[in-house]
């Protein structure tokens, strides 16, 4: 059997049940009644002591959502979702007031995930490993349970808190920016999110401030049959900079869990936002049973001149991924970037990509997408690059490469390029190939094991994107890639 | 990637859809048998689905429902159009407004040519091929063409026959605007080879030309195909090319698009046996408000085939170019080698280019790639040429010619290539006048 | 021949040439040396008429003509030739086709008759071998797939065919090994004549061992800061440009 065939056989035999984050935390939780109605929306809003304007905004979204059909254009297939069969709000029963009141079970969960919530733990971590400090906002099911390093961030003027808190404490900022990038009726899942979002993170970086540490949110779905609908809003005011990391896991369940997040980024004049994601939701078992349905709307608005938004994602989890982190390049000379590694295995279905909408003059964008398909999965890159009439001097470079491991998976590329300006320059290239027999043999001949060889080659294939991740994330991502292709790269 | 719903109920008919539906009811299908069934099914499909719009993915950038406002009636030719473009050494058959002119008195050994009407009347066995390789997916121009079948030609090359002279099917349109539906069925049998030229030219009338060419290239056979679309400025050109390749067959096509107010060419290439080679190249030179769409589907259904696509689009004034290309590699099509490239040159800020090159791949041992670029003339090249003494216009022309020339180069027959180059040069000169 | 007075030029908001004066009489070879970023290449582009550069002040007279009033192609026809530091690749335009188009365009602009095909072929055949330009290079797209040395030789071939009055050589030695440099220098030296002036722009002294100039100018921050004989090159080789406030070469 040739080396490649052997690899393929191993990948085929892979047991996706080995998902290492698939434990359940045993804590009591409070849930909204199952199903979705105006009452659910009111219940969520009331639970969070929201002001009237917020409730009205949610109800408006809910009513619009009722009239919207589910999108069907993506290359993903799944049984019809019964939106009445989910819980739209769940939170640990004892609502924490401070970090010391957090249920020790939750703390243990995050420790298992490697997320030190207690600042002193985090601080210990720094001293021993000389790692940069990371402020973490942890979201457990629907509720933000703890945010670290708040005091220190406040000194720099950076606001980093849960979105619920922001709605109460910083209503002027929230009202000004929430929904300004992803409008209420943007799409089916974003509108659903607007109606029922439970929590998420809020970041505001004041003018001229370089956020002193990486900010991070860790999402965890724990409850059964629970939808998680988080909402994140990040505003980088003029001349500021922030780097934000997002990680996600969920326990193993037979049923599909629903996740529909909305992330809005606003970069004002000369500001820069770097947003990195490592998505590792439960992908379902080897027969395609269970797993997270991940329908995410992420969009950044380069609202000011010379602003920059950069998305980096490592997508290895979820049964279904439907996600297109995008940039609206409104300000002159603004820049958008999208770096993506999407790995699919087992029965996973990925339809992901980006949109780069060039509106301002001399705007530029760069897209590097690496898709790896194995098992019986399907992996689609879908992207739009458009330059509008007034976007003189717009520039885009796109490179999307796909790697296939085995002959039972699919890799697809669907780019849309719309140039409405003569001075716009678009360049797009895409390739699809398999791991080369020659490369593999070369590695084996030099003494590497089969699995090491594949890991090496895959890591080489995604290197351009890994380089974009913050250091400590890159290491984690590299391990995750290996785990995702377990069986071939163990 | 618009989050818009699929239409669950059919919208009301546009005037154009109504006119086409009326056309179908005015020409009820009487014949029995396979052909009759094919036609009835096509008519029913149109009545059911109507014209495609932007939410139909394959027509996203050419919303036929919105763009096709009126449809002229089908009528007999009112005047004889002028002379068709001549290709050196070619044997020519002319269709004037769809009406087949005199067939050549002498044809090379092994070549037979008959009108579609005669073929239908005599229930010719070759008609078994008609529609046989057509895509399953509903496509309005193809369905209409099938439903209104009648005008056209059937060309057959016997096994092993290498036809030395090119055969040109020249279509001319003129006089009172009409809707014309023509079909060309070409069968190149095992081991045979043919060079086929199709040309489409017309006057200023707002006629509609819905034309389908079905090409069957047998095992080890070869077909070189040149298609010159130089329709009148107000015309609607809806073209469909279906190429079905046998084992070790070769198909090389070059399509030059210059004319029509609205033009759409859909190409379906399908490999039926291993070792096939398909090359589809083209250049579109568009000025004024022309809208020209080239959409390709290359279906690697079997292993070990090779496909090459190269398209060059030059856009002046408010012209709009569309290129969509989809390479499909099915699960068993290992060792597929597919390359697709679309490049556009925008000469005006009012021009628009929409590119959508797609890969859909289900086999792992493949080498597939696509690329797309859009942009203005390269300033560095322009300066280089000017610094050597070429005036701006001349330098621009040279660069545009070189840009489009990279595709024309693939036309193997030098005499044919020269005629095409002359058409391109004329377009460039007219632009500067 | 060439007379530059108080020239100021900029690209965008960035002024690069800041009051430059330079006179090159007929038949002389002048070298312009200077550190990176001194504006040497900009000067070559401004003289040859690249549109990105804006002349804000000053004058350039070429054989009594206002050079700045002419387009790039008119300047070429008037006899200004720029040998590029990095000659651009022009795919699809055969080298031969291009050479002939350029020669004829210049002749037309000057009101001369176009060269006939046989005469042109004869001319190329006569000039190409000395520069090591093969038939294959003449058939290929302009500079497409040429090595660094081949590109430079192709520039000199064009110079030989077009017979300009003023040759501007922008870093003619960059990317060349010593053998390739000799071929290029011999090609250039063969074109030296009492009617032809040359402006040799270079960072290093090395090139000037092979193309020996009559006068050397040192350019810094957009101006000529020193002028001397060929011995100036050796001095600069010793001391570098540090004396002019730049990092050592």
Predicted ipTM of the assembly? 0.85
Cross-chain residue pair A405–B370, CB shorter than 8 Å? no
- The mean pLDDT of A5-30, rounded to a whole number, is 55
pLDDT above 60: residue C6: yes
Chain A residues within 8 A of B318 when measuring between CB atoms: none
* Residue B156 pLDDT: 98
Q: Please give chain B's pLDDT, 433 residues, in tens.
A: 444 444 445 678 999 999 999 999 998 888 888 999 999 999 999 999 999 999 899 999 999 999 999 999 998 766 777 889 999 999 999 999 999 999 999 999 999 999 999 999 999 999 999 999 888 889 999 999 999 998 999 999 999 999 999 999 999 998 889 999 999 999 999 999 999 999 999 998 999 999 999 999 999 999 999 999 999 999 999 999 999 999 999 999 999 999 999 999 999 999 999 999 999 999 999 999 999 999 999 999 999 999 999 999 999 999 999 999 999 999 989 999 999 999 999 999 999 999 999 999 998 888 899 999 999 999 999 999 999 999 999 999 999 999 999 999 999 999 999 999 999 999 999 887 6
pLDDT above 60: residue A327: yes
Cross-chain residue pair B3–A186, CB shorter than 8 Å? yes
- The mean pLDDT of A415-440, rounded to a whole number, is 88
Cross-chain residue pair B353–A431, CB shorter than 8 Å? no
What confidence tier does A220 reach under pLDDT thresholds 50, 70, 90? low
* Residue B319 pLDDT: 97
Q: Which residue of B has its CA nearest to A429?
A: B371
What confidence tier does A278 reach under pLDDT thresholds 50, 70, 90? confident
Query: Nearest-CA neighbor of C171 among C189, C190, C194, C155?
Result: C155
* Residue A133 pLDDT: 61
Closest-CA distance, B364 to chain A, in angstroms, reads 5
Q: Which residue of B has its CA nearest to A432?
A: B368
Name the pTM for this structure.
0.84
Chain A residues within 8 A of B6 when measuring between CB atoms: 69, 72
pLDDT above 60: residue A54: yes
First to last CA, chain C: 31
More confident residue, A103 or B51: B51
Contact assessment for residue A357 and residue A387, using Cβ atoms and an 8 Å cutoff: no
* Residue A318 pLDDT: 85
Q: What is the pLDDT of residues A445-472, one digit of tens each?
A: 676 777 767 777 787 888 888 888 877 6
pLDDT above 50: residue A14: no
Contact assessment for residue C124 and residue C73, using Cβ atoms and an 8 Å cutoff: no
What confidence tier does A134 reach under pLDDT thresholds 50, 70, 90? low
Find chains touching chain C: ≥3 CB pairs under 8 Å. Answer: B
* Residue A221 pLDDT: 65
Chain B residues within 8 A of A188 when measuring between CB atoms: 3
* Residue A74 pLDDT: 87
Q: What is the pLDDT of residues C95-107, one digit of tens each?
A: 888 888 888 888 8
Q: What is the mean pLDDT of chain A?
A: 81
Residues contacting A388, CB < 8 A, separation 6+: A357, A358, A359, A420, A421
Contact assessment for residue B387 and residue C77, using Cβ atoms and an 8 Å cutoff: no
* Residue A17 pLDDT: 46
Task: Report the C-alpha gap between C150 and C156 in whole angstroms.
Answer: 10
Task: Report the C-alpha gap between B352 and A178 in whole angstroms.
Answer: 34
Residues contacting A215, CB < 8 A, separation 6+: A134, A135, A137, A160, A201, A203, A242, A243, A244, A245
More confident residue, A489 or A200: A200
Q: Is B380 on the interface with C (CB under 8 A)?
A: yes
pLDDT above 50: residue C248: no
Q: What is the pLDDT of residues B151-164, one digit of tens each?
A: 999 999 999 999 99
Q: Is B387 on the interface with C (CB under 8 A)?
A: yes
pLDDT above 60: residue A122: no
CA B354 vs. chain centroid, Å, equals 18
Cross-chain residue pair A426–B367, CB shorter than 8 Å? no
Task: Report the C-alpha gap between B170 and B227 in whole angstroms.
Answer: 10
Residue among C73, C82, C90 whose CB faces B381 most closely: C90
Cross-chain residue pair C90–B385, CB shorter than 8 Å? yes
| B 392-421 near C (Cβ less than 8 A) | 392, 394-395, 398-399, 401-403, 405-406
Residues contacting A400, CB < 8 A, separation 6+: A367, A368, A369, A370, A371, A381, A383, A413, A415, A429, A430
Residue among B384, B390, B392 whose CB faces C101 most closely: B390
| Touching, C vs B (3+ Cβ pairs under 8 A) | yes
Closest-CA distance, C92 to chain B, in angstroms, reads 4
Task: Report the C-alpha gap between A174 and A158 in whole angstroms.
Answer: 15
Chain B residues within 8 A of C156 when measuring between CB atoms: none
Q: Which residue of B has its CA nearest to C109?
A: B389
Q: What is the pLDDT of residues C76-90, one digit of tens each?
A: 889 999 999 988 888
Chain C residues within 8 A of B401 when measuring between CB atoms: 92-93
* Residue A468 pLDDT: 84
CB atoms within 10 A of CB B135: 15
Cross-chain residue pair A413–B348, CB shorter than 8 Å? no
Closest-CA distance, C21 to chain B, in angstroms, reads 23
Cross-chain residue pair C49–B381, CB shorter than 8 Å? no
Task: Report the C-alpha gap between A25 and A102 in whole angstroms.
Answer: 14
Q: Are strands C2-11 and C14-24 parallel, antiparallel or unpaired?
A: antiparallel
Query: Nearest-CA neighbor of A165 among A267, A64, A271, A48?
Result: A48
Provide the b/e sequence for A41-56 (b: ≥16 CB within 10 Å). bebbbebbebeeebbe
Q: What is the pLDDT of residues A137-196, one digit of tens each?
A: 766 665 666 666 777 788 889 998 888 889 999 999 999 999 999 999 899 999 999 999
pLDDT above 60: residue A382: yes
Q: What is the pLDDT of residues C141-156, one digit of tens each?
A: 888 889 888 999 999 9
Cross-chain residue pair A422–B334, CB shorter than 8 Å? no
* Residue B235 pLDDT: 96
């Amino acid at each position: 059997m040739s080396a490649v065939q052997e690899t393929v056989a191993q990948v085929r035999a892979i047991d996706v049940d080995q998902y290492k984050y698939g434990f359940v935390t045993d804590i009591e939780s409070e849930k909204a009644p199952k199903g979705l109605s105006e009452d659910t929306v009111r219940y969520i809003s009331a639970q969070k002591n929201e002001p009237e304007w917020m409730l009205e905004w949610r109800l408006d979204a809910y009513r619009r959502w009722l009239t919207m059909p589910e999108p069907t254009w993506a290359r993903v297939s799944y049984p019809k979702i019964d939106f009445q069969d989910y819980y739209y709000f769940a939170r640990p029963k004892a609502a924490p007031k401070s970090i010391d009141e957090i249920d020790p079970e939750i703390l243990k969960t995050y420790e298992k995930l490697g997320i030190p919530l207690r600042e002193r733990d985090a601080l210990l971590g720094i001293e021993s490993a000389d790692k940069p400090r990371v402020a973490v906002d942890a979201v457990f099911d629907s509720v933000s349970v703890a945010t670290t390093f708040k005091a220190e961030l406040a000194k720099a003027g950076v606001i980093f808190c849960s979105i619920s808190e922001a709605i109460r404490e910083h209503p002027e900022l929230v009202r000004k920016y929430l929904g300004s990038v992803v409008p209420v009726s943007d799409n089916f899942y974003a509108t659903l999110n607007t109606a029922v979002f439970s929590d998420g993170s809020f970041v505001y970086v004041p003018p001229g401030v370089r956020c002193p540490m990486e900010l991070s949110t860790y999402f965890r779905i724990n409850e059964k049959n629970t939808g998680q609908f988080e909402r994140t809003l990040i505003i980088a005011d003029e001349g500021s900079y922030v780097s934000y990391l997002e990680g996600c896991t969920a326990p193993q369940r037979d049923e599909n869990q629903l996740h529909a997040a909305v992330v809005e980024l606003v970069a004002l004049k000369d500001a820069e936002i770097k947003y990195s994601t490592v998505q590792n939701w439960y992908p379902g078992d080897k027969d395609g049973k269970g797993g997270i349905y991940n329908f995410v709307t992420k969009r950044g608005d380069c609202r000011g001149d010379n602003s920059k938004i950069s998305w980096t994602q490592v997508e290895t989890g979820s049964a279904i991924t439907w996600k297109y982190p995008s940039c609206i390049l409104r300000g002159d000379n603004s820049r958008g970037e999208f770096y993506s590694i999407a790995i699919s295995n087992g029965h996973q279905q990925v339809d992901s990509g980006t949109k780069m909408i060039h509106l301002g003059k001399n705007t530029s964008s760069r897209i590097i997408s690496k898709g790896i398909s194995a098992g019986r999965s399907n992996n689609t890159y879908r992207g739009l690059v458009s330059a509008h009439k007034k976007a003189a001097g717009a520039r885009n470079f796109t490179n999307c490469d796909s790697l296939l491991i085995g002959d039972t998976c699919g890799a697809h590329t669907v780019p849309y390029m719309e140039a409405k300006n003569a001075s716009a320059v678009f360049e797009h290239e895409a390739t699809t190939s398999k791991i080369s027999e020659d490369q593999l043999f070369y590695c084996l001949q030099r003494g590497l094991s089969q699995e090491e060889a594949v890991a090496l080659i895959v890591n080489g294939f995604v290197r351009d994107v890994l380089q974009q991740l913050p250091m400590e994330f890159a290491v984690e991502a590299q391990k995750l890639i290996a785990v995702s292709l377990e069986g071939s790269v163990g | 990637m618009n989050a818009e719903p699929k239409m669950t109920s059919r919208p009301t008919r546009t005037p154009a859809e109504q006119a086409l539906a009326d056309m179908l009811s005015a020409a009820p299908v009487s014949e029995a048998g396979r052909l009759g069934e094919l036609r009835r099914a096509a008519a029913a499909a149109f009545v059911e689905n109507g014209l495609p719009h932007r939410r139909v993915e394959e027509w996203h950038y050419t919303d036929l429902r919105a763009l096709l406002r009126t449809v002229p009636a089908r009528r007999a030719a009112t005047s004889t159009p002028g002379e068709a473009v001549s290709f050196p050494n070619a044997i020519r058959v002319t269709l004037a407004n769809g009406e087949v002119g005199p067939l050549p008195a002498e044809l090379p050994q092994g070549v037979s040519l008959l009108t579609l009407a005669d073929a239908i009347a005599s229930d010719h066995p070759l008609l078994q091929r008609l529609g046989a390789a057509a895509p399953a997916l509903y496509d309005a121009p193809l369905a209409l063409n099938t439903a209104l079948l009648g005008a056209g030609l059937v060309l057959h090359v016997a096994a092993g026959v290498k036809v030395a002279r090119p055969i040109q099917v020249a279509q001319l349109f003129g006089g009172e605007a009409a809707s014309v539906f023509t079909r060309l069925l070409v069968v190149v049998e095992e081991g045979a080879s043919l060079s086929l030229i199709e040309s489409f030219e017309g006057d200023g009338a707002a006629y509609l030309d819905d034309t389908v060419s079905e090409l069957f290239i047998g095992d080890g056979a070869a077909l070189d195909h040149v298609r010159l679309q130089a329709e009148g400025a107000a015309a609607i050109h809806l073209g469909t090319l279906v190429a079905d390749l046998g084992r070790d067959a070769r198909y090389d096509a070059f399509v030059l698009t210059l004319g029509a107010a609205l033009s759409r060419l859909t190409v379906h290439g399908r490999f039926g046996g291993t070792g096939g080679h398909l090359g589809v190249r083209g250049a579109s030179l568009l000025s004024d408000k022309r809208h020209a769409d080239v959409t390709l589907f290359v279906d690697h259904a079997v292993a070990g085939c090779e496909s090459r696509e190269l398209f060059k689009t030059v856009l002046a004034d408010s012209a709009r170019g569309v290129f969509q290309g989809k390479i499909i590699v099915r699960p068993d099509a290992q060792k597929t080698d597919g390359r697709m490239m679309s490049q556009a040159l925008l000469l005006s800020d009012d021009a628009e280019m929409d590119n959508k090159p797609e890969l859909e791949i289900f086999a792992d041992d493949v080498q597939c790639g696509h690329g797309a670029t859009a942009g203005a003339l390269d300033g560095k090249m322009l300066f280089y040429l000017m610094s050597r003494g070429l005036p701006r216009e001349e330098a621009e022309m040279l660069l545009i010619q070189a840009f489009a020339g990279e595709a024309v180069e693939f036309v193997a027959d030098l005499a044919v290539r020269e005629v095409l180059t002359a058409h391109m040069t004329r377009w460039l000169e007219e632009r500067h006048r | 021949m060439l007379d530059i007075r108080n020239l100021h030029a900029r690209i965008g908001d960035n002024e690069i040439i800041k009051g430059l004066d330079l006179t090159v009489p007929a038949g002389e070879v002048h070298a312009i040396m200077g550190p990176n970023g001194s504006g040497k290449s900009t000067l070559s582009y401004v003289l040859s008429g690249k549109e990105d550069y804006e002349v804000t002040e000053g004058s350039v007279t070429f054989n009594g003509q206002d050079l700045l009033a002419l387009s790039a192609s008119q300047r070429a026809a008037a006899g200004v030739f720029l040998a590029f530091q990095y000659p651009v690749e022009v795919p699809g335009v055969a080298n031969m086709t291009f050479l002939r188009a350029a020669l004829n365009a210049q002749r037309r602009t000057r009101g001369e008759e176009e060269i006939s095909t046989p005469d042109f072929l004869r001319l190329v055949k006569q000039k190409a071998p000395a520069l090591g330009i093969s038939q294959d290079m003449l058939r290929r797209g302009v500079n497409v797939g040429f090595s660094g040395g081949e590109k430079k030789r192709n520039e000199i071939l064009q110079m030989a065919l077009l017979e300009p009055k003023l040759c501007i050589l922008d870093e003619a030695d960059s990317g060349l090994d010593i053998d390739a440099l000799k071929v290029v220098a011999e090609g250039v030296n063969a074109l030296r004549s009492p009617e032809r002036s040359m402006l040799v722009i270079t960072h290093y002294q090395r090139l000037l061992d092979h193309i020996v100039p009559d006068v050397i100018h040192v350019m810094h921050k957009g101006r000529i800061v020193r002028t001397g004989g060929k011995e100036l090159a050796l001095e600069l080789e010793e001391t570098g440009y540090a004396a002019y406030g730049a990092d050592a070469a």
